[in-house]
Amino acid sequence: MDKIYDLIIIGAGPAGITAAIYAARKKMDLLVVSLDIGGQAAWSGEIENYAGYQFITGNELAAKFEEHMKKYAVEMREGEKAVSILKDGGVVKVGTEEAYYAARTVIIASGKRSREMGVPGEKEFRNRGVTYCATCDAPLFAGKKVVVAGGGNSALEAALQLIRIADHVYLVNNTEEPGGDAVIREKVMSSDKVTVMNSSTILEISGNGLVGGVSVQTPAGRRDLAVEGVFVEVGLIPNSEFESAVEKNGSGEIKVNFRNETSVEGIYAAGDVTDIPEKQIIIAAGEGAKAALGAFSYLARNRGWA
């Protein structure tokens, strides 16, 4: 930990990668620390609302982000998970499971992860028919009956991918009607391969080694579905547990102002880990750019260059 960087970016999703590109163009000495590259963008199936692309898959967009960042020879520690942040004087120390790093500024862009339902059978059948990523695992369920739990954009996108692959899709939604973008919702609702079960919740997942069925509480009573896959899309949890110094809201999202500043000077945050009201790839990318420019201005004001 002898070296002190200008900037450490935690996370390499749309926010983190965009921040890295902007920081590299400012000639900042930076380090990116992330478990993976692409973040939630890589989980997405079809993307039709990212400016400049009428259609692109999540994997393709994540690959373009990565390619762009690597043109600047950004130093990166991939496969390392941040577990602590501590500010000591004018230096911020970032601890991972492997090492410690230090910088004069930090951008937290660690994103979110899938929320579990917490029902019997969910943990037992994880990776045995229960999955949290349709983009990753949908092809494994070709010709099979599956359940998608959830009613927001992520659930609708999962259902849209599965329509082309699975034999039938049950969308179990605990509200009166699915939410999400109208365009995606209409595509899902108009398919004869989808059964929408509104005001319903999953009670239990069962099977013998692999998922074989799901019990659902519907307004008409309990219903047992013979399915071989369960795609859990019931929301996301911010990856912010490692950071205890900055202020967060009740959901664990890091509070930021319009400059992406947190409650601790020199620590910025961007993307879905923050309390910004909309969670979209294009918004996360813009927030990452703002955070990098903010960190640069902070260093310039404080003459804290290495």
Q: Which of 167, 146, 174, 176 has the alpha carbon at shortest distance from 158? A: 146
The pLDDT tens digits of the residues spanning 80-108 come to 999 999 998 889 999 999 999 999 999 99
Question: Average pLDDT over the chain, rounded to whole?
Answer: 92
Residues 6+ away with beta carbon under 8 Å from 47: 41, 53, 55, 56, 57, 58, 61, 281
Residue ranges and CATH numbers for the domains of the chain are 4-113+236-302 (3.50.50.60), 116-232 (3.50.50.60)
Q: Is residue 246 a contact partner of residue 267, using CB atoms and an 8 Å limit?
A: yes
- pTM here is 0.81
Q: Which residues of the chain have pLDDT under 70?
A: 1, 42-46, 303-306
- In this predicted model, what pLDDT tens digit does every residue of 48-79 receive, in sequence order? 777 888 788 878 888 888 889 989 989 999 99
Which residues are registered as beta bridge partners of 213?
Answer: 206
Q: What pLDDT, on a 0 to 100 scale, did the predictor assign at position 124?
A: 95
What's the confidence (pLDDT) of residue 306? 46
Find the farthest-apart pair of alpha carbons in the chain and give their distance in angstroms, rounded.
67
Q: How far apart are CA 32 and CA 236, in angstroms?
A: 23
